[in-house]
């Protein structure tokens, strides 16, 4: 052995334990139906179920949601917050939060993320249309700005009180500021990384946040790879890497799980749960989430113009039978368009129109309905069990004397196309925060999709919706909310609640993990553990 080699021995001796201590954490591989609809990871551009599923892995808001618990608001990047007045909420920023670029999160990052160029652009406008998106520098796409304005409609400014304290100031009184800030549109990202990104698309493909995992590679329509962010304020992540693989076919996702190529497979239909669990090595977890499936009525349709016919339709559906038959009882029937996480705004005494065929027939007689066809536009299983549910409901309506005709469509545009053949359609409504403003007013109010699509409107409802959004009197808001429900679910139905949506994830049984009560996958320390 040469003298030079001998000199290396101590170094090798020192290196051996270090190698032994190298990162032994496993990689988690997840098969999903879709990674991102927009091929971006910027939350205001990817406002979809699939986007909600992954955004919590890499980005966080000032206020978080207790997804695996009661769905309540929890401190996240703000350690505390308080109301200054009806228009202002003050946030104490969590100290020492490291971002994925190694910088410490600052008040400027918060200001930039909630009220700056990331969401609202530079204000200089674009020289060309969206066709050049991603190539014209950092100006966000027009739909990003539109989504930001919709999320924070009353935002006046975000003010830095001092380092570590910021204020969200609204132009108008708003009791829902906290809920709006908790949405994933308002995640806090690195201003420096944004400015260094070069163009908006590059930024949107690799946003730099504070979440437990950082984006290392995004191959659109194929895979998304995260690495553990070991400086994460909430504890060292339990997985070294998280790989999200896009596997569109449900059978392929299940096969990938059973063959050991992936550890988790999402979007498992209820009728596949038993098939997966026949193998003792796997289990399916999941539960109702913060999304309600509903049927929308077009009050302009010749037969549905009369509210009595719509009321009859609401009484003709046996929701419990649908949940038992098609969901094996694994989801719930909410009491109207509300969830218990509304807290003091939850109306415990409210309920859906009861299943009562006699009442449905009586209402149809009163409406002088004589079996005229009512079209029902439906997509092929965009929602889990959608087609089967539609077929069951058509038969239930038939039993009440309603002639509802199913029309299979290919896309949302065809579903929403106005005209005399638009009658009934499927929809779902996500409760984006714990207040009826985040669901009922947002979706059904004067500016919501239901009314913008000219399917339904009601003058009193619209007046109340404005009051619900602006009022700070909580007792009065409860009264307003109940009256709104009475109008849109009972007197002049605009929709009919079916059941709470549920999502199911198949996984290796030996991995300890709890499914969230929403779309997000939670792979933080404390919610994910591997066998020794």
Partner 1 sequence: MLRFTATRLVRAAITIVMVVTFAFVVLRLSGDPAQIIMGADAPPEAVDAFRTAWGLDEPLWVQYISYFGAIFSGDLGRSMRDGREAIVLVLERIPATLALTVPALVIKLALGIPAGILAALYRNSALDRAVMMFAVAGFTIPSFVLGLLLVLLFAVQLGWLPSGGQESWRHAILPVITLGIGGAAALARFTRSAMLEVLGQPYIRTASAKGVAWRRVVANHALPNAAIPTVTIIGFMFGSLIAGAVVVESVFSWPGVGRLLVTAVANRDLAVVQCILLLVAMTMITANLVVDLLYGVLDPRLRGGARKAEA
> How far apart are the C-alpha atoms of 55 and 53, rounded to whole Å?
6
Contact flag: residue 247 with partner 1 (CB under 8 A): yes
**Residue 377 and residue 414 in contact, taking contact as beta carbons nearer than 8 Å:** yes
Contact flag: residue 261 with partner 1 (CB under 8 A): yes
Q: Which is closer to partner 1, CB of 226 or CB of 369?
A: 226
Contact flag: residue 142 with partner 1 (CB under 8 A): yes
Stretch that binds partner 1, among 80-88, 123-131, 356-364, 487-495 (CB under 8 A): 123-131
- Binding residue for partner 1, selected from 172, 405, 411, 512, defined by CB under 8 A: 411
Q: Interface residues for partner 1 in 372-401 (CB under 8 A)?
A: 382
Helix (H, G, I), strand (E, B) or coil at 248: coil
Contact flag: residue 95 with partner 1 (CB under 8 A): no
Shortest Cβ 485–partner 1 spacing (Å): 21
Q: Are strands 88-93 and 155-162 parallel, antiparallel or unpaired?
A: unpaired
What secondary structure does DSSP assign to 320-360, as a single string?
A: HHHHHHHHTT-S---SSS--GGGGGG--TT--PPP--HHHH
Contact flag: residue 258 with partner 1 (CB under 8 A): yes
Residue 497 host element (H or E): strand 495-508
Shortest Cβ 256–partner 1 spacing (Å): 5
Shortest Cβ 221–partner 1 spacing (Å): 6
- Binding residue for partner 1, selected from 104, 251, 380, 421, defined by CB under 8 A: 251
Q: Which is closer to partner 1, CB of 201 or CB of 485?
A: 201
Q: Which residue has the tokens 């066809």?
A: 373
Q: Which residue has the tokens 């800030």?
A: 181
List the structure tokens of 49.
Answer: 């179920």
Q: Which is closer to partner 1, CB of 70 or CB of 143?
A: 143
C-beta atoms surrounding 258 within 10 Å: 16
Shortest Cβ 340–partner 1 spacing (Å): 22
What secondary structure does DSSP assign to 9-58, as a single string?
A: HHHHHHHHHHHHTS--PPEEEEEES-S-SSS---TTT--SHHHHHHHHHH
Shortest Cβ 239–partner 1 spacing (Å): 18
Q: Are strands 241-246 and 27-32 parallel, antiparallel or unpaired?
A: parallel
Q: Which is closer to partner 1, CB of 221 or CB of 366?
A: 221
Q: Which is closer to partner 1, CB of 37 or CB of 391?
A: 37
- Binding residue for partner 1, selected from 18, 413, 419, 475, defined by CB under 8 A: 413
**Residue 214 and residue 189 in contact, taking contact as beta carbons nearer than 8 Å:** no
Shortest Cβ 371–partner 1 spacing (Å): 31
Contact flag: residue 147 with partner 1 (CB under 8 A): yes
Site string for partner 1, 188-227 (x = CB under 8 A): -------------x-----------------xxxxx----
Q: Interface residues for partner 1 in 12-51 (CB under 8 A)?
A: 37-40, 47-49
Interior/surface letters 365-397, b for 16+ CB within 10 angstroms, e for the rest: eebebeeeebbbbbbeeebbbbbebbebbbebb
Shortest Cβ 179–partner 1 spacing (Å): 16
Cα–Cα nearest to 176, from 115, 112, 89: 89
- Binding residue for partner 1, selected from 164, 173, 234, 448, defined by CB under 8 A: 448
Q: Which is closer to partner 1, CB of 307 or CB of 423?
A: 423
Three-state secondary structure string covering 472-486: CCHHHHHHHHHHHHH
Site string for partner 1, 155-194 (x = CB under 8 A): ----------------------------------------
Contact flag: residue 412 with partner 1 (CB under 8 A): yes
Give the contacts of 506 (CB within 8 A, at least 6 positions apart): 253, 254, 257, 264, 265, 266, 268, 272, 273, 276, 282, 283, 284
Contact flag: residue 410 with partner 1 (CB under 8 A): yes
Q: Which is closer to partner 1, CB of 155 or CB of 256?
A: 256
- Binding residue for partner 1, selected from 260, 373, 418, 420, defined by CB under 8 A: 260
**Residue 375 and residue 394 in contact, taking contact as beta carbons nearer than 8 Å:** no
Q: Which residue has the tokens 């979706």?
A: 443
Dihedral over alpha carbons 122, 125, 128, 130 (to 10 degrees): 70
Q: Which is closer to partner 1, CB of 428 or CB of 457?
A: 428
Binding site for partner 1 (CB under 8 A): 37-40, 47-49, 129-135, 141-147, 149-150, 201, 219-223, 245-249, 251-252, 255-256, 258-261, 382, 410-414, 416, 427-428, 430, 447-449, 452-453
């Amino acid at each position: 052995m040469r003298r030079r080699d001998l000199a290396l021995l101590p170094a090798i001796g020192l290196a051996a334990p270090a190698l032994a201590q190298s990162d032994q954490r496993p990689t988690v591989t997840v098969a999903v139906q879709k990674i991102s609809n927009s091929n971006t990871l910027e939350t205001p551009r990817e406002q979809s179920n699939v986007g909600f599923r992954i955004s919590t892995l890499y980005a966080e808001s000032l206020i978080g949601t207790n997804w695996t618990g009661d769905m309540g608001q929890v401190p996240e990047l703000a350690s505390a917050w308080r109301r200054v007045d009806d228009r202002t909420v003050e946030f104490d920023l969590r100290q020492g939060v490291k971002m994925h670029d190694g910088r410490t999160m600052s008040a400027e990052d918060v200001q930039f993320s909630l009220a700056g160029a990331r969401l609202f652009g530079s204000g200089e406008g674009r020289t060309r249309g969206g066709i050049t998106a991603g190539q014209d520098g950092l100006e966000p796409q027009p739909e990003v700005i539109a989504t930001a304005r919709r999320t924070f409609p009353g935002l006046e400014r975000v003010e830095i009180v001092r380092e570590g304290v910021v204020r969200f100031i609204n132009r108008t009184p708003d009791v829902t500021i906290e809920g709006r800030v908790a949405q994933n549109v308002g995640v806090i990202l690195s201003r420096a990384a944004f400015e260094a990104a070069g163009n908006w698309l590059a930024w949107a493909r690799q946003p730099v946040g504070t979440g437990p995992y950082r984006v290392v590679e995004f191959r659109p329509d194929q895979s998304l790879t995260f690495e553990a962010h070991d400086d994460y304020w909430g504890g060292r992540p339990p997985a070294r890497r998280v790989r999200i693989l896009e596997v569109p076919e449900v059978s392929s996702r299940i096969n990938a799980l059973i063959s050991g190529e992936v550890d988790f497979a999402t979007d498992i239909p209820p009728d596949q749960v038993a098939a997966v669990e026949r193998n003792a090595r796997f289990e399916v977890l999941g539960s109702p989430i913060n999304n309600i499936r509903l049927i929308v009525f077009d009050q302009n349709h010749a037969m549905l113009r009369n509210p009595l016919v719509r009321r009859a339709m609401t009484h003709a559906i046996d929701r419990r039978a649908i949940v038992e038959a098609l969901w094996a009882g694994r989801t719930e029937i909410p009491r109207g368009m509300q969830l218990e996480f509304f807290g003091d705004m939850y109306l415990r005494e409210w309920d859906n129109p009861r299943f009562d065929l006699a009442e449905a027939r009586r209402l149809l007689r009163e409406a002088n309905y004589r079996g005229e066809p009512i079209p029902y536009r439906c997509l092929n299983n965009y929602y889990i069990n959608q087609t089967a549910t539609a077929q069951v409901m058509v038969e239930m309506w038939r039993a009440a004397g309603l002639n509802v005709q199913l029309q299979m469509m290919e896309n949302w545009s065809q579903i929403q196309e106005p005209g005399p053949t638009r009658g009934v359609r499927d929809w779902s409504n996500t409760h984006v925060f714990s207040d009826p403003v985040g669901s009922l007013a947002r979706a059904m109010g004067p500016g919501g999709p239901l009314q913008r699509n000219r399917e339904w409107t009601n003058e009193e409802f619209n007046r109340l919706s404005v009051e619900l959004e602006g009022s700070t009197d909580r007792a009065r808001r409860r009264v307003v909310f109940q009256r709104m429900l009475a109008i849109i679910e009972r007197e002049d139905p605009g929709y009919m609640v079916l059941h709470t949506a549920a999502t199911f994830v198949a996984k290796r049984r030996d991995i300890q993990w709890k499914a969230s009560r929403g779309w997000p996958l939670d792979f933080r320390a404390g919610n994910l553990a591997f066998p020794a």
